[in-house]
Copies of this chain bind each other. A is one copy, B any other.
Amino acid sequence: MAHVSIIGTGNMGQAIAGVARKGGHTVELLGGSDQSAHVSGDIVVLAVPYPALPKVLAERGDSLAGKIVVDITNPVNFETFDSLTVPANSSATAELAAALPDSRVLKAFNTTFAGTLAAGTVGANTTTVLIAGEDADAKSTLAEVITSGGLKAIDAGSLSRARELEAFGFLQISLAAKEKVAWTGGFSVAA
Interface residues of A (CB under 8 A from B): 82-83, 87-89, 122-125, 130, 154-158, 160-161, 163-165, 167-168, 170-171, 174-175, 178, 180-182, 185-191
Query: In the bound complex, how far is the Cα of B168 from the Cα of A164, in angstroms?
Result: 6
Query: In the bound complex, how far is the Cα of B162 from the Cα of A82, in angstroms?
Result: 12
Query: In the bound complex, how far is the Cα of B170 from the Cα of A156, in angstroms?
Result: 11
Q: How many copies does the complex hold?
A: 2
User: Is there an interface contact between B180 and A155, defined as CB atoms closer than 8 Å?
Assistant: yes
User: Is there an interface contact between A175 and B154, defined as CB atoms closer than 8 Å?
Assistant: yes
Contacts of A178 in B (CB 8 A): 157
User: Is there an interface contact between B180 and A190, defined as CB atoms closer than 8 Å?
Assistant: no
Query: In the bound complex, how far is the Cα of B190 from the Cα of A186, in angstroms?
Result: 7
Query: In the bound complex, how far is the Cα of B82 from the Cα of A156, in angstroms?
Result: 12
* Closest chain B residue, CB of each to CB of A171: B164
User: Is there an interface contact between B154 and A180, defined as CB atoms closer than 8 Å?
Assistant: yes
User: Is there an interface contact between A82 and B175, defined as CB atoms closer than 8 Å?
Assistant: no
Query: In the bound complex, how far is the Cα of B95 from the Cα of A46, in angstroms?
Result: 37
Query: In the bound complex, how far is the Cα of B190 from the Cα of A122, in angstroms?
Result: 7
User: Is there an interface contact between A171 and B161, defined as CB atoms closer than 8 Å?
Assistant: yes
Q: Say whether, besides A154-B181, A188-B188, A190-B185, A167 and B174 are in contact (CB < 8 Å).
A: no
Q: What 7 A-B pairs come out closest when comparing CB atoms?
A: A123-B190, A167-B167, A88-B88, A88-B89, A124-B124, A164-B171, A164-B167
A-B contact pairs, 13 of them (CB 8 A): A83-B160, A89-B89, A123-B125, A123-B190, A123-B191, A124-B124, A154-B175, A156-B175, A157-B174, A164-B174, A181-B189, A185-B189, A188-B189
